[in-house]
A and B are shown apart, each in its own frame.
Chain A
Amino acid sequence: EVQLVQSGAEAKKPGESLKISCQASGYNFSTYWIGWVRQMPGKGLECMGIIYPDDSETRYSPSFQGHVTISADKSINTAYLQWSSLKASDAAIYYCARQRGDGAGPGDWGQGTLVTVSS
């Protein structure tokens, strides 16, 4: 069974750094794209970027390029999303999702990580 298990909720202050994780199991982590999706309170889904863990090829949305870093450690089947300096506007739920190899798109999702940013 494919599972994506995300790290727990975080409460941070503006300017702080943060790294959240998405640990995968049940499939060959290296050979499937993983994406990070933001959902701000009451709003829609936005893809921040996707990564191919085998060679760490990463594609960012222009809206997020330079503000976040997406990475993956295939030795421990884990993808990461990190910020060096959080803003209040980064408060959101963040989901990781796996793009399936049968052309199905992101059919497997993590449970989401709630990030709150407040002084």
Chain B
Amino acid sequence: DIQMTQSPSTLSASVGDRVTITCRASQNIRTWLAWFQQKPGKAPRLLIYKASTLETGVPSRFSGSGSGTDFTLTITSLQPDDFATYYCQKYNNFWTFGQGTKVEIK
């Protein structure tokens, strides 16, 4: 089974900061990689798919990159609404999530 490893587990940042979250797959998944945002009590929200395609309606400060085994989610200027937990997920053949990264207020 393919494992997805995210880092860091927790990230403390301030409004306006540039934030980067990484995700590593244990095998080559090409670009079958999605990023989700989840807030307490809510279902996950799709942000990025195919590693770098921005979902409709998602602000352009979010971007994704990578292919194969190494991927990155970047938030260029952190906004108050962005404090949440972020998950990567590979979705070809089966779905596997990373363990999550909580973005906290510094």
Q: B45 — which chain A residues lie within 8 A by C-beta?
A: 109
Given contacts A44-B87, A62-B1, A104-B55, contact A109 B44 (CB under 8 A): yes
B96 at the interface (CB under 8 A from A): yes
Write the chain A residue with the least CB distance to B90.
A105
Secondary structure of the A contact surface, majority rule: strand
A90 at the interface (CB under 8 A from B): no
Instruction: State how many angstroms separate the Cβ of A27 from the closest Cβ of chain B.
Output: 15
Write the chain A residue with the least CB distance to B9.
A44
Bitwise, B20-60 to A at CB < 8 A (1) or not (0) is: 00000000000010101010000111100110010100000
Write the chain A residue with the least CB distance to B53.
A104
Given contacts A109-B43, A111-B43, contact A44 B97 (CB under 8 A): yes
Q: Do residues A103 and B50 form an inter-chain contact, with CB atoms below 8 A?
A: yes
Number of interface residues of A (CB under 8 A): 22
Q: B94 — which chain A residues lie within 8 A by C-beta?
A: 47, 50, 59, 61
A42 to B78 CA separation, bound complex (whole angstroms): 24
Instruction: State how many angstroms separate the Cβ of A116 from the closest Cβ of chain B.
Output: 15
Q: A107 — which chain B residues lie within 8 A by C-beta?
A: 46, 49, 55
A99 at the interface (CB under 8 A from B): yes
Q: Do residues A106 and B46 form an inter-chain contact, with CB atoms below 8 A?
A: yes
B1, B49, B85, B93: the one contacting A105 at CB < 8 Å is: B49
Q: A80 — which chain B residues lie within 8 A by C-beta?
A: none
Q: Do residues B95 and A47 form an inter-chain contact, with CB atoms below 8 A?
A: yes
A46 to B100 CA separation, bound complex (whole angstroms): 11
Write the chain A residue with the least CB distance to B56.
A107
Q: A110 — which chain B residues lie within 8 A by C-beta?
A: 43
Known A44-B97, A47-B94, A105-B46; 11 more pairs at CB < 8 Å: A37-B97, A44-B87, A44-B100, A46-B97, A50-B95, A97-B44, A99-B95, A103-B50, A104-B55, A105-B34, A106-B89
